[in-house]
Amino acid sequence: MEFKVRLNTQGRPPLEATAAFSAQSVLLGLTGPSGAGKTTLLRALAGLEKCAQVNVSSYRRSSPRIMMVFSEPCLFPHLSVEENLILARQYSADSGASLTTYTALCHCEHLLGRAAVSLSSGEAQRVALARALASQPDILLIDEGMGAIDSATRRAIISGLKQYATKTQLQVVLVSHDISDLALYADELALLEAGSLVCAGQVARVLGHYATETSLVPCLSLLEGKATDPDPRYPYHRFLCEGQVLYAHSRASFEEHVRLVVDARQVSLDKMDVNQSTLVNAFACQIVSMDTLSDAELRVTLRQGDTTLYAIISHLSRDRLGLTAGDAVTARFKLC
Amino acid sequence: MEFKVRLNTQGRPPLEATAAFSAQSVLLGLTGPSGAGKTTLLRALAGLEKCAQVNVSSYRRSSPRIMMVFSEPCLFPHLSVEENLILARQYSADSGASLTTYTALCHCEHLLGRAAVSLSSGEAQRVALARALASQPDILLIDEGMGAIDSATRRAIISGLKQYATKTQLQVVLVSHDISDLALYADELALLEAGSLVCAGQVARVLGHYATETSLVPCLSLLEGKATDPDPRYPYHRFLCEGQVLYAHSRASFEEHVRLVVDARQVSLDKMDVNQSTLVNAFACQIVSMDTLSDAELRVTLRQGDTTLYAIISHLSRDRLGLTAGDAVTARFKLC
Amino acid sequence: DTLKVAVAANFAKPLEQFATAYNEKTGNRVIVSKASSGTLYAQINHGADIDVFLSADSSRPQQLLEDGRVNASDVVTYAIGRLGYIQRSNASPDVETLKTFALAPTTRLAIANPRLAPYGEAARQALTSLVLWQHVSGALVYGNNVLQVYQFYQSGNVDHALLAWSLIKGEPGAVQLSDELHQPIVQQLAITATGADKAAANAFVDYLLSDEVQTQLPQWGYQRTGTRE
Amino acid sequence: MSGDWTAIWLTLKLAVISSLILMIIATPLAWWLAKWQHPAKPIVQAVIALPLVLPPTVLGFYLLLAFSPQSWLGSGWESLTGGQLAFSFAGLVIGSVIYSLPFAVQPLYAGFVQLDIKYLETAGMLGLSRTAQIRRVILPMVKPHIITALGLAFAHTLGEFGVVLMIGGNIPGETQVLSISLYDHVESLNYGQAHQLAIGLLIFSLILMSLLYRLNRKGRDAWNSRSG
Amino acid sequence: MSGDWTAIWLTLKLAVISSLILMIIATPLAWWLAKWQHPAKPIVQAVIALPLVLPPTVLGFYLLLAFSPQSWLGSGWESLTGGQLAFSFAGLVIGSVIYSLPFAVQPLYAGFVQLDIKYLETAGMLGLSRTAQIRRVILPMVKPHIITALGLAFAHTLGEFGVVLMIGGNIPGETQVLSISLYDHVESLNYGQAHQLAIGLLIFSLILMSLLYRLNRKGRDAWNSRSG
Ligand SMILES: Nc1ncnc2c1ncn2[C@@H]1O[C@H](COP(=O)(O)OP(=O)(O)OP(=O)(O)O)[C@@H](O)[C@H]1O
Ligand SMILES: Nc1ncnc2c1ncn2[C@@H]1O[C@H](COP(=O)(O)OP(=O)(O)OP(=O)(O)O)[C@@H](O)[C@H]1O
Ligand code: MOO
Ligand SMILES: [Mg+2]
Ligand SMILES: [Mg+2]
């Protein structure tokens, strides 16, 4: 998917964004502070901002069919849940498709017979998502459309959505304030601030920018690599990152590629060689720099090869361990 | 605040909830799966469910003035942001109060001149909250009213709200799917499932129930205690929990009482005595039980005195360290 | 000092003229309100403050008499109406023109509603006398009153109409029909005034029935009546 | 033509007073109707629409019966005010209000039904009294419907004719409104004067109603054009 | 009274046909009006309301002029159908439609203006064509307004009188509608028959309109009663 959007109307903050995402990326994360223009950008992409100049293409189709899920579910109030879905399917490319795929994916099979107006907010959001899928778009834009769903369900839905998207070559743009959801599942990431895309592309790079150049929290890093021979006794994914073996849970892994998102506050540093704690992962690296974030915390930027890792530690710990830039350390963190 | 709510109308799932919260608790967290009845409970408390039998009392007033913030902001579309706030203030107890307190608290000073209909979703939520405060209620019910606000801003708002509530004896009920927000800031917590309060009261106890009895994630524990002599070199709160010194950030602390919320996935266990890593906090405790959560993970329940702490570790680590129930271990985690 | 006179629409114009003259002569003011005879009747019957009611027919004044609202001496004939025929095709038509048309009507013929308006009833009688009724009944359109019939004609929606001669007198293509073709169109009035106004009302009615006024009636397309007995 | 000026003035007075009374009656009626849930509701709604079903003159005829000193309404009015209801300005106002009631009630009803109850709930929780809610929230939010109702009621009263003819008695300065003079001009074949008056009435109404509908514009544009 | 039955049938036919045509004209007109943004908009809205301002008989008089074979409308119609517009059923329909247009347009306009655009945007993205959007989303969502419009238009056509009186010519079976017979009865002092017919008309309308308004009930109750 590639797009170029320009909006410059009197009385509204201007917006200008150009980005190209690879055909392999099925889930594109978009985040940024409140009021940055995320909704406006999505609306423009969906062709709903009449004053915007917009160019979008997907890899599936040169003039792709785009569906946007608003933060309000906008279920048609005169129809039941099922009728909402049936309506969407009827006008889709394959109007014979079974709805079960979509309802199972969005955990809303049990709501089919309900009146759309009687749903709770989380229920309505799930149905809205199922309806969007039932219309079988080429590009699906989700604007904070999952905020009222509890996190376990939400992650299950995102993960299922990603598998479905991979299978059907759908590209999904997900706007969320939950950066760890995005870091874990997005194939590429974009950061919008005050109407412009300050950074877009590889998740690790955008997270780096996010961590170092913005005042936004949290601070995340991405470790990824090819899966290696699994230990038959445990169901974890073992993978090689910069030549070191790391462990990750299956849910954030897709095919041969394994991904681990680490919150900088979960990373501990030490100078020991042996691991005597339950922190499974140990990653040898070097301190590149240390930046004071507040009088309480500092951010340590660590590097090994092409991989950057952040750790947020207290001044107390730095002093206790005597850490300085250039030191070789072991970064330890759990598998997640 | 004390309440007793019963709703048993044909065609709707029944709801029955009784709870009493102490006068000192200013922020009451309410969570539960989507569709559990959280919105319905709040609406009933606010007197909006005509069929419900409701008894509510606050410590401020026997028939308290209750204000509910819906998940949709419901700003009056014919008024500007400022006019919305002025309208709320006009009908409040102190109609001469300055609006600055509320706008500053909700980070929306810059939006005052805007038309209510032109706001982004996060902006609208902040204004809706400010408007609710401007009406100076005795009890404020917030129904997922902060989901579209980025997490840094959201936490700043919750924290400010809590201070304001303490000062003015306001009691706030906050419904959220973000359990860590709640664990960090709530004074008491309640868990609603399928129309009944399965657990309510002390945060630590409810988190325990949440962690062990429900399928909900994440798994959190609460460590708290009285502040002790601070180390003048560092701005952290030092506090005594079960006789051991722990460190916490200032933001989650209120007066003499310091609180630390620890995600079980951030807790590492070892059998060493000395701390050689950047994990500042070390908490000596005993393994009470180990429960397998999946083929990948197990939950370790740890106890020291009255304090319960959870750690989620991998089978790999358990095997590596040879952990069994009854072992004395050191739980390590960062200050947060 | 002011007299309220209600008049059926077709006689409104002459009445206004007479009222002005009466005012000049006696100094008494006459307020004229006009509507259809049926409306005026209903209003008088329900308490309208009217001193003299000039109906376009005799049935409404007679009805007031039956209702006991007025005495027999209060109801008099003030004019006899005449029926006229107007059409577009012939500059100086006569009864034959009507016959020719009515025997094989190609367009519609407008008359007033016989049930509501005496001119309508007269038109029906005239057509019956001429043995044309059967032939034209399918081609008739009914105006609610003669004025409406005149509008149908004037606006070009009908080319033939039977209506009050008073309306079409002097127009091209108009002809007065013989009064032998129908019963006399007796226009009666009723003095509805009570008490103090009664004398003034009587005086005005006397004026209307005076030769001075009655001799002018043919000019307006009406036939004069005898004096009040 | 001087009679026309009196008629114009009278008409305006009638239209303004009737429209105001209509709005005062119709607003609470429509509100109550929107909230009321009962199997008999469609019947009540139909009853409100009934004045429309009768031809105006016939409606006027029945009003005339009701206004006559023999009826309770007429006699009640007479003992209260000393005057007669039929053929008085007050009678015209009553007739116009009854005749135009459906136009005022129905659009307001539709507006109230579609008003999202959460705005009212919010207003209630903010402490606004019933009256304050109406004044500060409900009325501004249903403004397009109010303007529709007002416009229809006003125009209908201007053109109102059959009822007025029947119960008014065509008394200059008292009950001879513009529609009646216009009718008179047409009936007495004064077409020139009728055209003049009709054009005047149309232009005047056009200006007045344009001003009324302009009220709808401000702010309205942005209202639904946001996705939040 | 057998003439009354013909009149009843004719009236129903007129009311139904006119209401349908009205809805067909008014719906797109109101829609366009709701979307159209232009300084001249209030003027257009006022123009739509103008038929109300003229007394019906006067409006009828002008229609009579327009229908005459000398005018473009009358002659155009004549060359098209061979028949005359005045005194024909088709003429009545045209008159009724013009006269009742404001009642149909205004409530629909208010409904369309309040329709949240996001539902339409969603429908559009779901791939619904313009027509499908109208049929499947817009019309069901503004149903209360459609029913209001339909009810007002229908009732108004039933009671419609002045215009019909003027352009109808009172031809039994062709243009003598109920309102005219009723008027005739009153004018010719057949009060007994007038009462009978009026009561019959009222009861009939009451039943019909109750049925119409019942359509509004289903589902509507729940619509705004949720907080989500
Ligand atoms: N119609 C409008 N008139 C004026 N300003 C507008 C309008 N629509 C949007 N804005 C402003 O444009 C900016 C971008 O809005 P947008 O809704 O795209 O933000 P967002 O990134 O989606 O924010 P959030 O996370 O709060 O939803 C905001 O500051 C908003 O107030
Ligand atoms: N009017 C209604 N008719 C039928 N069922 C209803 C109605 N209102 C609510 N419900 C059902 O009651 C249950 C509780 O709804 P409620 O909105 O209180 O849930 P919730 O806990 O707020 O969920 P969420 O987190 O998704 O907002 C849901 O299953 C919902 O579908
Ligand atoms: O003036 Mo009449 O009563 O309509 O023939
Ligand atoms: Mg947004
Ligand atoms: Mg809810």
Pocket test for ligand 1, best of A8, A9, A38 (most atoms within 8 A of CB): A38
Distance from Cα B280 to the centre of ligand 5, integer Å: 39
Query: Minimal CA–CA distance to A60: which of A186, A174, A173, A170?
Result: A170
Ligand 1 atom nearest to CA at A43: 18
Residue type, D222: A
DSSP string, B200-239: EEEHHHHHHHHHHHSS-S--EEEEEEEE-PPPTTS-PEEE
- Give residues (CB < 6 A) around ligand 1: A 11-13, 32, 34-40; B 118-123, 148; D 226
DSSP string, B264-294: GGG-EEE--SS--BS--EEEEEEEEEEEE-S
Return d(Cα E1, Cα E11) in angstroms, integer.
15
Average pLDDT taken over every residue of chain E: 82
Bridge partners (DSSP) of residue E151 are: none
Q: Are D176 and D92 in contact (CB under 8 A)?
A: no
Q: How long a stretch of residues is chain B?
A: 336
Nearest to C41 among E70, E165, E189 (CB): E189
Nearest to D86 among C9, C34, C46 (CB): C46
Q: Averaged over B72-91, what is the pLDDT?
A: 92
Q: Are A334 and A280 in contact (CB under 8 A)?
A: yes
Ligand 3 atom nearest to CA at C146: 5
Q: Which of D174, D188, D195 to substitute to test the interface with C, most C CBs within 10 Å?
A: D188
Return d(Cα B279, Cα D19) in angstroms, integer.
77
CATH at residue D166: 1.10.3720.10
Strands (E), chain C: 2-8, 29-35, 52-54, 75-81, 83-87, 109-112, 140-143, 160-164, 174-176, 185-191, 222-223
pLDDT at residue E221 is higher than 50: no
Instruction: Say whether A78 and E140 touch across the interface (CB within 8 A).
Output: yes
Which of B1-5, B160-164, B235-239, C165-169 is predicted with the least confidence, judged by mean pLDDT?
Answer: B235-239
Q: Is C165 left (phi over 0), alpha (psi -120 to 50) or beta?
A: alpha
- Provide the 8-state DSSP code for A80: B
Query: Minimal CA–CA distance to A203: which of A216, A221, A215?
Result: A221
CA distance E9 to chain A (A): 35
pLDDT 10s digits, E42-99: 888 888 888 888 888 778 888 888 888 888 888 888 888 888 888 888 898 999 999 8
Residues of D whose CB is below 8 A from B88: 126
Return d(Cα C128, Cα C145) in angstroms, integer.
20
Nearest to B268 among A71, A334, A336 (CB): A334
Average pLDDT taken over every residue of chain C: 88
Bridge partners (DSSP) of residue B175 are: B30, B143
- Residue A96 is predicted with a pLDDT of 78
Q: For chain D, what is the domain count?
A: 1
Q: Which of E116, E224, E226, E227 to substitute to test the interface with B, most B CBs within 10 Å?
A: E227
Within 8 A by CB and 6+ apart from B310, the residues are B208, B211, B219, B220, B221, B264, B267, B299, B300, B301, B302
Return d(Cα C207, Cα C210) in angstroms, integer.
5
Tell me the two tokens of residue D148.
């529709």
Query: Minimal CA–CA distance to E170: which of E66, E80, E76, E60?
Result: E60
Q: Are A190 and A206 in contact (CB under 8 A)?
A: yes
Q: How long a stretch of residues is chain E?
A: 228
- Residue D25 is predicted with a pLDDT of 93
CA distance C39 to chain E (A): 6
Which chain E residue lies closest to C137 (C-alpha atoms)?
E171
Residue type, C66: E
pLDDT 10s digits, B189-216: 999 998 989 888 888 788 877 777 766 6
Q: Which helix (H) or strand (E) holds B175?
A: strand B171-175
Return d(Cα B143, Cα D81) in angstroms, integer.
58
Residue percentage of chain E with pLDDT more than 90: 11
Distance from Cα C117 to the centre of ligand 3, integer Å: 5
Residues of C whose CB is below 8 A from D186: 151
Strands A307-314 and A297-304: what pairing?
A: antiparallel
C165 CB under 6 A from ligand 3?
no
Tell me the two tokens of residue D2.
């001087």
Distance from Cα E1 to the centre of ligand 3, integer Å: 24
Kindly give the residue spans of alpha helices, DSSP state H, lying in chain B. 38-45, 81-90, 100-105, 121-134, 151-168, 179-185, 203-213, 315-321
pLDDT 10s digits, A138-193: 999 999 888 888 888 888 899 899 989 989 889 999 999 888 788 878 889 999 99
Instruction: Say whether B148 and A153 touch across the interface (CB within 8 A).
Output: no
Within 8 A by CB and 6+ apart from A333, the residues are A262, A266, A267, A268, A279, A281, A283
pLDDT at residue D187 is higher than 80: no
Nearest to C63 among E61, E70, E189 (CB): E189
Half-sphere exposure in the Cβ direction for E61 (13 Å, CA): 25
- Residue D3 is predicted with a pLDDT of 62
Return d(Cα B326, Cα B311) in angstroms, integer.
15
Chain centroid offset of residue A116 CA:
29
pLDDT at residue E228 is higher than 50: no
Q: Averaged over B68-88, what is the pLDDT?
A: 93
Which is more confident, C12 or D173? Answer: C12
Phi–psi pair at B121, nearest 5 degrees = -65, -40
Q: Averaged over D184-191, what is the pLDDT?
A: 74
**Interface confidence (ipTM) of the complex:** 0.79
Q: Are E198 and E8 in contact (CB under 8 A)?
A: no
Tell me which residue range forms the domain holding D48. Answer: 2-227
Q: Averaged over E149-153, what is the pLDDT?
A: 86
Residue type, A102: Y
Q: Are E19 and E148 in contact (CB under 8 A)?
A: no
On whether any CB of chain D is under 8 Å from the CB of C30, the answer is no
Q: Averaged over B262-287, what is the pLDDT?
A: 80
On whether any CB of chain D is under 8 Å from the CB of A74, the answer is no
Distance from Cα B41 to the centre of ligand 2, integer Å: 10
Strands A220-227 and A237-241: what pairing?
A: antiparallel
On whether any CB of chain E is under 8 Å from the CB of A85, the answer is no
Bridge partners (DSSP) of residue D9 are: none
Query: Minimal CA–CA distance to D201: which of D174, D181, D187?
Result: D181
Pocket test for ligand 1, best of A8, A31, A39 (most atoms within 8 A of CB): A39
C161 CB under 6 A from ligand 3?
no
Tokens 């902060």, located at residue: B146
Most confident of the following: A73-87, B84-98, B194-208: A73-87
Query: Minimal CA–CA distance to C85: which of C168, C6, C189, C2?
Result: C168
Half-sphere exposure in the Cβ direction for D204 (13 Å, CA): 17
Residue percentage of chain A with pLDDT more than 70: 95
Tell me the two tokens of residue B299.
């939950």
Q: How long a stretch of residues is chain C?
A: 229
Return d(Cα A232, Cα A213) in angstroms, integer.
42
Tokens 């099979």, located at residue: A109
* pTM of the model as a whole: 0.80
Torsion sign (Cα): D169, D175, D181, D183: negative
Task: Work out the number of other CB atoms within 10 angstroms of the CB of residue B233.
Answer: 10
Nearest CA to ligand 1 atom 24: A34
pLDDT at residue A39 is higher than 60: yes
- Provide the 8-state DSSP code for C164: E
Query: Minimal CA–CA distance to B277: which of A307, A329, A295?
Result: A329
Distance from Cα A198 to the centre of ligand 1, integer Å: 17
- Residue D1 is predicted with a pLDDT of 47
Residues of B whose CB is below 8 A from A279: 268, 317
- Provide the 8-state DSSP code for D134: I
Return d(Cα E149, Cα E26) in angstroms, integer.
9
pLDDT at residue A240 is higher than 80: yes
Query: Minimal CA–CA distance to B289: which of B199, B184, B211, B204?
Result: B211
Which is more confident, B58 or D226? Answer: B58
Q: Are D23 and D149 in contact (CB under 8 A)?
A: yes
Within 8 A by CB and 6+ apart from C108, the residues are C139, C140, C141, C157, C158, C159, C160, E84, E87, E169
Within 8 A by CB and 6+ apart from C68, the residues are none
Q: How long a stretch of residues is chain A?
A: 336
∠ at Cα E74 (E71, E76), nearest 5°? 100
Return d(Cα E27, Cα E148) in angstroms, integer.
13
Pocket test for ligand 2, best of B16, B39, B50 (most atoms within 8 A of CB): B39
Residues of D whose CB is below 8 A from A143: 227
Which chain B residue lies closest to A180 (C-alpha atoms)?
B151
